[in-house]
C-alpha cells in the first residue's frame, strides 16, 4: 500500500516548520527521514499519523486506517504485563496472535513481567512490538532505536525487513544505520521560510 506526500506543509505551535515536501513510499520500501535537530521530522511524522493537520498540501493513503505510528512515548500500560499489553493492542486492532511479536522483539522471557518494571530498552522493544500486532501496512516511526542496544537494533531491523518483505511500507526518522535497504530523504531543503530565521539548535541555548 503506497503513501504519497504532495506539496506538504507542516507546522508546530502555529509556526510552519517544513514546506513543499514531496515523496512517495511504495510497498516493500522504507524511507528514512534525516535532518538536524528541530528541522521538523517529528512534526512531519505526527502529521502523517493524523495527529495534527497539515497547513498545506495533502497526504494520499488508499486507506484512512493504514498507518501504525510509534512516537517518542511508548504507549505502554505500566501495570499490565508484557503479554497483557500486547494482547490489549491485538484486540484493539483485531489481530489475535501475539506470539510472533513476542518472539520477534525478544520478549518471550519477559512476557509475564509488569511492563512498568522493564528497562528503558525493553520498554522500547515492547512499544515497537505493538506495530507487529496492528496488521497495519504503513509503519511511521520516530527515532525507533533510542535506548536499543546493538542486538536489539538488529532485531528491530529484522522486524522491519519482514514487514517490507510482506508488502509493508515504513517511514522512519532516524540517524542510525538499521542494516536495511532504505531511501534517505534529508528534510533540510524543505525547511519553511518562516523557520529559517531560527537556524540554531534550541537544545544548546
Ligand atoms: N509546542 C511547540 N510550539 C512551538 N514550537 C514547537 C513546539 N514543539 C516543537 N516546536 C519546534 O518545532 C520545530 C520542529 O520540531 P520537531 O520535533 O518536529 O523537530 P525534529 O526534526 O523531530 O527534531 P529532533 O531531531 O530534535 O527530534 C523545532 O524547532 C521545535 O523547537
pLDDT of residue 163: 95
15-25 vs 183-186, strand pairing mode: unpaired
What residues contact residue 59 under an 8 Å CB cut-off, 6+ apart?
3, 4, 5, 6, 8, 47, 48
Expressed in angstroms and rounded, the spacing between residue 39 Cα and the centre of ligand 1 is: 7
Q: Which domain holds residue 112?
A: 3-204
pLDDT of residue 205: 42
pLDDT of residue 114: 97
Domains of the chain: total: 1
pLDDT of residue 63: 86
Closest CA to ligand 1's atom 29: 38
Distance (Å, rounded) from C-alpha 82 to C-alpha 113? 6
Longest dimension (CA), the chain: 51
Report yes or no: 187 and 18 within 8 Å, Cβ to Cβ: yes
What residues contact residue 22 under an 8 Å CB cut-off, 6+ apart?
5, 6, 7, 8
Expressed in angstroms and rounded, the spacing between residue 13 Cα and the centre of ligand 1 is: 9
What are the pocket residues of ligand 1 if the criterion is a CB atom closer than 6 Å to any ligand atom?
Answer: 12-13, 15, 17, 35, 37-43, 202
Distance (Å, rounded) from C-alpha 73 to C-alpha 90? 19
CATH number at residue 197: 3.40.50.300
Please give the chain's pLDDT, 205 residues, in tens: 689 999 999 999 999 999 999 999 999 999 999 999 999 999 999 999 999 999 999 999 988 889 999 998 888 999 999 999 999 999 988 777 899 999 999 999 999 999 999 999 999 999 999 999 999 999 999 999 998 999 999 999 999 999 999 999 999 999 888 888 899 999 999 999 876 555 545 444 4
pLDDT of residue 19: 97
Closest CA to ligand 1's atom 28: 38
Amino acid at each position: 500500500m503506497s503513501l504519497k506526500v504532495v506539496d506538504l506543509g507542516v507546522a508546530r505551535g502555529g509556526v510552519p516548520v517544513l514546506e513543499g515536501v514531496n515523496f512517495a513510499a511504495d510497498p516493500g520500501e522504507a524511507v528514512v527521514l534525516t535532518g538536524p535537530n528541530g528541522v521538523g521530522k517529528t512534526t512531519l511524522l505526527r502529521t502523517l499519523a493524523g495527529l495534527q493537520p497539515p497547513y498545506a498540501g495533502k497526504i494520499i493513503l488508499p486507506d484512512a486506517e493504514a498507518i501504525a505510528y510509534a512516537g517518542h512515548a511508548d504507549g505502554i500500560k505500566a501495570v499490565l504485563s508484557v503479554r497483557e499489553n500486547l494482547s490489549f493492542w491485538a484486540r484493539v486492532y483485531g489481530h489475535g496472535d501475539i506470539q510472533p511479536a513476542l518472539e520477534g522483539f525478544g520478549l518471550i522471557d519477559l512476557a509475564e513481567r509488569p511492563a512498568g518494571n522493564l528497562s528503558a530498552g525493553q520498554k522500547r522493544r515492547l512499544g515497537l512490538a505493538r506495530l507487529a500486532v496492528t496488521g497495519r501496512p504503513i509503519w511511521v516511526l520516530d527515532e525507533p532505536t533510542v535506548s536499543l542496544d546493538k542486538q536489539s537494533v538488529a532485531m528491530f531491523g529484522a522486524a522491519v525487513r519482514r514487514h517490507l518483505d510482506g508488502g509493508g511500507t515504513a517511514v522512519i526518522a532516524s540517524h542510525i544505520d538499521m542494516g536495511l535497504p532504505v531511501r534517505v530523504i534529508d528534510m533540510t531543503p524543505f525547511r519553511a521560510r518562516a523557520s529559517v530565521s531560527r537556524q540554531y539548535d534550541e537544545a544548546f541555548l
